[in-house]
C-alpha cells in the first residue's frame, strides 16, 4: 500500500475519499498512531501527518520509530514524504518543488534505529541511495505531467535531484551553518527527513521525498526569515502539492498494475 507522510502545511489531506481512521499500537509509543486510510480515484492510500493533526509536534519530538512501525504494520510498502525545506541552491527559490536524491543527517539525539537492543546480531543496512528510484521517477513524471498547470507560486522547472541536509531544529540555522551545509553539498535544508528515511529502509519500505522550498536558507537573503513569509509560501505551495498527489496516485496505480502483471 502507498502512504503519504504530510509535513508542515499538509496536516490534512481532504482529497482522500472513503476515509477510515486506523489506530495502530506499536512497541514504541504509549498511545496508538492514528493513520487515515482512504482512496484517491482507484488508488488506496494511507495518510499520516507527522506533526500531528493540528501541527503541534516539533521535528525533534516526532516519534519517527512509532510512525514508521505503524505504517509498516498497516501494510504500507511505499512512502512519499512531503517536507517543507529552506532553499540553499539558487534553484530552490521559495515555492520550488524538488525531489532530492541524497541526504545528509545532522540531527542528534533522535531515536534513529530499530536495531537498538536485544539483538541476535549487529545489523548495518545499505543506505547508499536513501531514496527509492522508482518512487522518485514516478514523482518526477507526475510533476512533468502537471507542468503547465502549476500556479505561478511554483517557479521554474521541477528540481529532479539534490541533497537534503537534515538539521535538528526547531530553530532555524545560523548563516555559518548554512555556509557549512552548502560546502557539504546540501541543496536544501529541513528538519524532518531523518531518521524517517533510515527507519523506512530498516523496515524494507520504499521511500521518496517531495520537498517544497518555503524560504531561502539563513543568511542567503538580507531580510530576516519570518514565519509569516514561510506560512504564505507554505499555503500556496501545499495547494500545488495537493494537486500533484492525484496525478502521482494515478501513475503509481498504473505502475503497480504493470509490475503485478509482469510478476505473473
Residues 11 and 4: their CA atoms lie apart, in Å, by 11
Segment near ligand HPA (CB under 6 A); pick from 64-72, 78-86, 179-187, 252-260: 78-86
> Can you name the residues that pair with 85 across neighbouring β-strands?
213
86, 95, 130, 195: which one binds ligand HPA (CB under 6 A): 86
| 173 part of the interface to ligand HPA, by CB under 6 A | yes
Does residue 103 interact with ligand HPA by CB under 6 A? no
Q: Is 92 an interacting residue with respect to ligand HPA (CB under 6 A)?
A: no
Tell me how crowded residue 90 is: count the other CB atoms within 10 A of its CB.
Answer: 9
Integer distance in angstroms from the first to the last C-alpha of the chain? 19
| Cell (9 digits) for 85 | 525545506
Q: For ligand HPA, which residue of 190, 193, 195, 237 counts as binding (CB under 6 A)?
A: 190
Instruction: Give the separation between CA 87 and CA 97, rounded to whole angstroms.
Output: 10
Q: Which is nearer to ligand HPA, 43 or 215 (CB)?
A: 215
Residue 189 and residue 215: Cα distance in Å, rounded?
Answer: 10
Pick the stretch among 18-26, 68-76, 185-193, 197-205 that binds ligand HPA (CB under 6 A).
Answer: 185-193
**Nearest Cα to 132, choosing from 178, 99, 84, 162?**
99
Angle between helices 133-146 and 227-263 (to 10 degrees): 110
CB of 167 to ligand HPA, least distance (A): 5
The backbone torsions φ and ψ at residue 39, rounded to the nearest 5 degrees and listed phi first, read -145, 155
Q: How far apart are CA 35 and CA 27, in angstroms?
A: 16
The kind and range of the H/E element at 146 are helix 133-146
- The answer to whether 191 contacts ligand HPA (rule: CB under 6 A) is yes
Q: Which stretch binds ligand HPA (CB under 6 A): 84-92, 93-101, 139-147, 244-252?
A: 84-92
> Is 211 among the residues that bind ligand HPA (CB under 6 A)?
no
Q: Does 172 bind ligand HPA (CB under 6 A)?
A: yes
Number of residues that bind ligand HPA (CB under 6 A): 12
Beta strands in 17-73 (DSSP E): 17-24, 33-40, 43-49
Establish if 94 lies at the interface with ligand HPA (CB under 6 A): no
**Residue among 15 and 57 whose Cβ is closer to ligand HPA:** 57
Residue nearest to ligand HPA (CB): 86
Shortest CB 178 distance to ligand HPA, Å: 8
Residues that bind ligand HPA (CB under 6 A): 84-86, 167, 172-173, 189-191, 214-215, 217
Amino acid at each position: 500500500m502507498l502512504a503519504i507522510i504530510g509535513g508542515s502545511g499538509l496536516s490534512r489531506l481532504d482529497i482522500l475519499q472513503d476515509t477510515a481512521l486506523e489506530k495502530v499500537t506499536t512497541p514504541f509509543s504509549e498511545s496508538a498512531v492514528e493513520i487515515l486510510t482512504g482512496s484517491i480515484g482507484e488508488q488506496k492510500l494511507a495518510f499520516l501527518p507527522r506533526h500531528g493533526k493540528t501541527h503541534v509536534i516539533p521535528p525533534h519530538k516526532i516519534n519517527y520509530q512509532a510512525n514508521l512501525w505503524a505504517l509498516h504494520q498497516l501494510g504500507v510498502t511505499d512512502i512519499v514524504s512531503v517536507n517543507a525545506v529552506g532553499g540553499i541552491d539558487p534553484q530552490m527559490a521559495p515555492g520550488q518543488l524538488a525531489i532530492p536524491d541524497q541526504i545528509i543527517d545532522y540531527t542528534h539525539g533522535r531515536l534513529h534505529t530499530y536495531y537498538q537492543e536485544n539483538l541476535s546480531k549487529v545489523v548495518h543496512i545499505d543506505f547508499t541511495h536513501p531514496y527509492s528510484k522508482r518512487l522518485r521517477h514516478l514523482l518526477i513524471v507526475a510533476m512533468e505531467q502537471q507542468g503547465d498547470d502549476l500556479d505561478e507560486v511554483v517557479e521554474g522547472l521541477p528540481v529532479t535531484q539534490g541533497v537534503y541536509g537534515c538539521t535538528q531544529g526547531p530553530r532555524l540555522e545560523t548563516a555559518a551553518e548554512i555556509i557549512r551545509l552548502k560546502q557539504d553539498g546540501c541543496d536544501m535544508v529541513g528538519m524532518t527527513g531523518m531518521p524517517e528515511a533510515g527507519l523506512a529502509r530498516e523496515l524494507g519500505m520504499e521511500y521518496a521525498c517531495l520537498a517544497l522550498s518555503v524560504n531561502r536558507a539563513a543568511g542567503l537573503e538580507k531580510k530576516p526569515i519570518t514565519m509569516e513569509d514561510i506560512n504564505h509560501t507554505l499555503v500556496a505551495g501545499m495547494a500545488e502539492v495537493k494537486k500533484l498527489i492525484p496525478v502521482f496516485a494515478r501513475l503509481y496505480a498504473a505502475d503497480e498494475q504493470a509490475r503485478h502483471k509482469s510478476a505473473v
